[in-house]
Structure 1
Amino acid sequence: MIGSAVLGALAAGAGGLLMPLVVRRVPEPAPDPTPLEDPTPLEDPTPLEVATTGEGATPTEVLATADEAAPVAEAAPKALYVDIAAGRGIRVGVPVASVAAGALVGAVLGWDWSLLLWLPLTPVLIALAVVDWRTRLLPTWVIRRTYWVLGVLAVAAGVLSGDLDALLRAGLGGLVALACFFVLWFIHPRGLGFGDVRLSGVLGIALGYLGWGELVAGLYSAFLVGGIGGALLALLRLADRKGVPFGPFLVIGAFLGVLVGPWTWSHLAGGGA
């Protein structure tokens, strides 16, 4: 267990050192298209339009109307990925957290082929959590590539270990997680971003490979930690509860699933015995 923990810390920590390069390469989202100008009115403006637009009014009346109008607050610009990559959160925080999380994963999983999935995935998940916290966006550019790499590693681990049931469970886990999160997003899109839906499939594959208990515990823990953490942050006035991104809690829940998954499944299967 100690040897696998050391391996996990070293491998995940080395991956964490590469994350600034990855985040720096993420393309910025395309700006919103410029709205079309309103067409020229064909009829004379009504008195209400004159009052609200100032058309046909004297300069004094226009200024008075402008003074009475409530100012519109502009949203803060999104932090650039280049700047995020250069910040301490990615340069220092991600490697340090990756070492700790990698050691935990290695100690829990032991000398198992599932490390082939989880050790490369660990720093990516932590970097995504930092990016989501800074931008409230989970970049599709990273998640799409994570799907491909994780799929290849899952197949390799399943073939090398001879555990094809784990490979099948990983595929089903990804589909189940995607379906559940898509339904939640469809019902209440303001409470869950579509980036969270994409990330849930990645976590479903990785947790499903380990077992159904890990999958259930990981996804459930995300909502439990998110509810408690969001309320605590709002209570301490560190963040607006409605503005807290869910990605970091998804990542925390995934690692909790690795930790308590076997215990969860034994209790579910044994009826709490």
Structure 2
Amino acid sequence: MHVVVAVWCAAVAGLLGLGVPRLIRWLPEPEAGTSSAVDKIPYAEVAAAHGLLWKGAAASAAAGAVLGGALGADWSLLFLLYLCPVGVALGYVDWRLRLLPTALIRPSYLIVGVLVVASGLLMGEPRRLVAAALGLVILRAIYWLLWRFTPGMGFGDVRLSGIVGLALGFLGGTALLVGGYAGFLLGVLLWVPMRLLRLTTDRSFPFGPFMLLGVLVGAVWQAVAA
């Protein structure tokens, strides 16, 4: 484990994670009359949740520590550290609202895409850019098919899957396979017991947080397998 890099990444991601409440507060509300706007809690209220400032920072720091400890001083941390606070914000919103805001996902495609290109060029491995693009296409196609033929899956999961595929594809085929599958596996392993123990009575499934945890699993698995 790369202890120094893990500590550094935890510090950077933790500082960025302090902005999670502000990031959620910044999100525009869905237009009136749309299905997303029905009985929706305002983003400002979600952002004002007690303890979200330190919880968002802690979760982001933990993700940064895991990534830094597994990958070491790797250029892929450029986009992975960006995904730490953004992933925490997306995961928290999806958990609370069963909604993945397009206003945060759409610009993340551009930002992650630019950082992925920068990482590949700085590493001198342009082939990784092809792998990242394939990861985006493959994972988004899988989620589109699931959305098309599986009742209950929201299109926000499809949108998010492209970013997940982009990140995992850059890291490698093992990361894409394991990380992509881990989202489904973690969802079953964690959500079903919560339902059985009545820790939640909501029948809808917030898949976003588990997809994002899959990025961590895929990155660690790729690093261990290398």
TM-score, shorter chain, exceeding 0.5: yes
Instruction: Name the SS for the 2:73 alignment partner.
Output: coil
One-letter code of the match for 1:209? F
Match of 1:178 among 140, 145, 151: 140
Structure 1 residues 1-273: aligned runs within 5 Å: 1-32=2-33, 77-88=39-50, 90-190=52-152, 192-240=153-201, 242-262=203-223
**CA contact 1:90–1:130 (8 Å) conserved in 2:** no
**CA contact 2:93–2:100 (8 Å) conserved in 1:** yes
Distance (whole Å) between structure 2 residues aligned to residue 91 and residue 24 of structure 1: 12
**CA contact 1:216–1:261 (8 Å) conserved in 2:** no
Distance (whole Å) between structure 1 residues aligned to residue 117 and residue 172 of structure 2: 16
Q: CA deviation at 1:88?
A: 3.1
Q: CA deviation at 1:89?
A: 5.5
Distance (whole Å) between structure 1 residues aligned to residue 74 and residue 44 of structure 2: 36
Instruction: Name the SS for the 1:151 alignment partner.
Output: helix
Q: CA deviation at 1:258?
A: 1.2
Say what the alpha-carbon RMSD is for the aligned residues. 1.8
Distance (whole Å) between structure 1 residues aligned to residue 94 and residue 51 of structure 2: 12
Instruction: Name the SS for the 1:243 alignment partner.
Output: coil
**CA contact 2:20–2:88 (8 Å) conserved in 1:** no
Distance (whole Å) between structure 2 residues aligned to residue 261 and residue 235 of structure 1: 33
**CA contact 2:70–2:223 (8 Å) conserved in 1:** no
Match of 1:64 in 2: none
**CA contact 2:23–2:89 (8 Å) conserved in 1:** no
**CA contact 2:70–2:224 (8 Å) conserved in 1:** no
Instruction: Name the SS for the 1:242 alignment partner.
Output: coil
Match of 1:73 in 2: none
Q: Between the two proteins, what is the percent identity of the paired residues?
A: 44
User: Max radius of gyration: which structure?
Assistant: 1
Instruction: Name the SS for the 2:200 alignment partner.
Output: coil
Instruction: Name the SS for the 1:121 alignment partner.
Output: helix
Distance (whole Å) between structure 2 residues aligned to residue 143 and residue 205 of structure 1: 13
Unaligned runs of 5+ in 1: 34-75, 267-273
**CA contact 1:173–1:204 (8 Å) conserved in 2:** yes
Q: CA deviation at 1:263?
A: 5.0
Unaligned runs of 5+ in 2: none
